[in-house]
Amino acid sequence: MKLIQPQSLSALSFILLPLHISLCQAEQSLTTVASAVGFAQYDKRNQPSLLHQQQNSSFSDQETLRLMWQGQSNVGISWDLHYMAYHQQPKQNISTQGFEHIFRYHAVKQIVKQSTNHALIHGLDRAVLTLDYKNFRLYFGRQPISFGAGRFWQPTDVFGAFNPTELDREYKPGVDATVIDFYPSEFSKLTLAYVFTNKTNTELSDSYAAQFRRSIGESSEITLIAGKVIAQNVLGGSFESNIGAIAYRLEELVYQEPSSKRYENIIIAGLDYQFDNEVIVSSEYYYNSNGAHTPQQLFASATSLLSLTGLQKQLGKRVAGLALTKQLSALFSGSYAMFIANLRDDAGYDFSALHQASLSYSLADESDLLLALLYGQGKAANKQVPASEFGHIPLSASLRIRLYF
């Protein structure tokens, strides 16, 4: 099913219409977020598939500027425009994979200037108009769509989910879509989403999905989702509730595997608990019926359509995650997360693990500093072919400073 392609959806149209609406005494705000990230990694195994020029260590940095223009008129129309520009050193390849590329009709990013070691890139990350009318709300343009309920993994977030180790989740990348929210009651919502495929991709049709969400009582919620995403039929749902101080969640997505036409499923189950000392423990179990069960199956899993589009976050069949977070003081907060996966070979089960630790410091009301460490354990990759879920990930450290003004 194909709708009329949105060739007229240019950045200019998103700017001119809000300018006209602003004459109706609209409330507007302009915000700028600037950040700089330094990244270093070290791998004693000297894997050329992971580090440049077969070196044991590498360093890079990226400076990002996000300009946000938001407004709301007195006639039920609002807008949200995010323009991004960033500089990379050394230059990194612009990926044509991942949900940011698949679900954007126009180019994801445009290169302004590049050299051997530098690149200056810019683009629109969000450009969405919202119309409110009675029990309906219409969103049109580049916008984030979030459906999942999990902490680490969100199987029903079919239009793009964060990676389990992603620490910066404030701004989810937008996709080109038309979305309608209908509120049949105070406790329920029906969402219809039609998402456009990149115009350069002639193999995939546009995607669409419907989600129904309903609150049950004071602390429970149920969702149901159905649709067709990247040429695959999908059906799923989630349930969240609590028993005393323990919060729990279940989420499942059933999808049709493109090559075999078999129906597979991705399931997560999780628990959260907060201790009296304000330490929050989160745990989650991930299961993918079509994931790799042996090391020999990892390459096929890594090159599958779901993995290439970023919708399947793990290569293996089973992964467990555990995270501890705590507000250490008024200015400091810390977290530690561990993910464990197992594969089976002739010698038995072979485990790999991924560790992540982070420390955040609030410099002022509108600035913060983040230090993060990441380390993978397990069998290393062999000639760019993974031999375990996490063994190919080297020791890395990143330091980010972010300013709002």
Q: What is the pLDDT of residue 45?
A: 58
Please state, as a whole number, how many other Cβ atoms lie within 10 Å of the Cβ of residue 77.
20
> Radius of gyration over alpha carbons of the chain, in Å?
22
Q: What is residue 7's predicted lDDT score, i.e. its pLDDT?
A: 46
Q: If we measure between CA atoms, which residue out of 114, 122, 124 comes closest to residue 92?
A: 114
Residue 2: predicted pLDDT: 46
- If 0-12 CB within 10 Å is exposed, 13-18 middle and 19+ buried, where does residue 24 land? exposed
The pLDDT value given to residue 52: 39
Model confidence pLDDT, tens digit, residues 14-64: 555 655 655 556 788 889 999 999 988 887 655 444 333 445 677 888 899
Residues in the chain predicted with pLDDT less than 70, given as ranges, are 1-25, 44-56, 91-98, 108, 346-347
pLDDT in tens, 206-221: 999 999 999 998 899 9
Q: Distance (Å, rounded) from C-alpha 374 to C-alpha 286?
A: 20
Domain boundaries, the chain: 27-404
Instruction: Give the model confidence (pLDDT) of 96-142 as tens digits.
Output: 456 778 899 987 677 777 777 788 888 899 999 999 998 999 999 99
The single residue listed with the structure tokens 């760019």 is 384
The superfamily (CATH) of domain 27-404 is Porin (2.40.160.10)
Question: CB within 8 A of 333, min separation 6: which ones?
Answer: 325, 326, 327, 359, 360
Structure tokens at 75: 């006639």
Phi–psi pair at 295, nearest 5 degrees: -60, -30
pLDDT value, residue 167: 84
- Angstrom distance (rounded) from CA 182 to CA 302: 38
How far is the CA of 111 from the CAs of 36, 92, 121, 388, in angstroms? 19, 11, 4, 35
| Cα dihedral sign, 263-264-268-269 | positive
How far is it, in rounded angstroms, from Cα 123 to Cα 164?
A: 25
State the burial class of residue 211 (Cβ atoms within 10 Å of its Cβ: 0-12, 13-18, 19+).
buried
Q: How far is CA 348 from CA 285, 343, 344, in A?
A: 21, 8, 5
Checking DSSP bridges between strand 367-377 and strand 348-364, what pairing results, if any? antiparallel
The CA-CA-CA angle for residues 52, 55, 56, to 5°, reads 120
In angstroms, the CA 342 to CA 349 distance is 6
What is the length of the chain? 405
Which residues, other chains included, contact 218 with Cβ-Cβ below 8 Å and sequence gap of 6+?
Answer: none
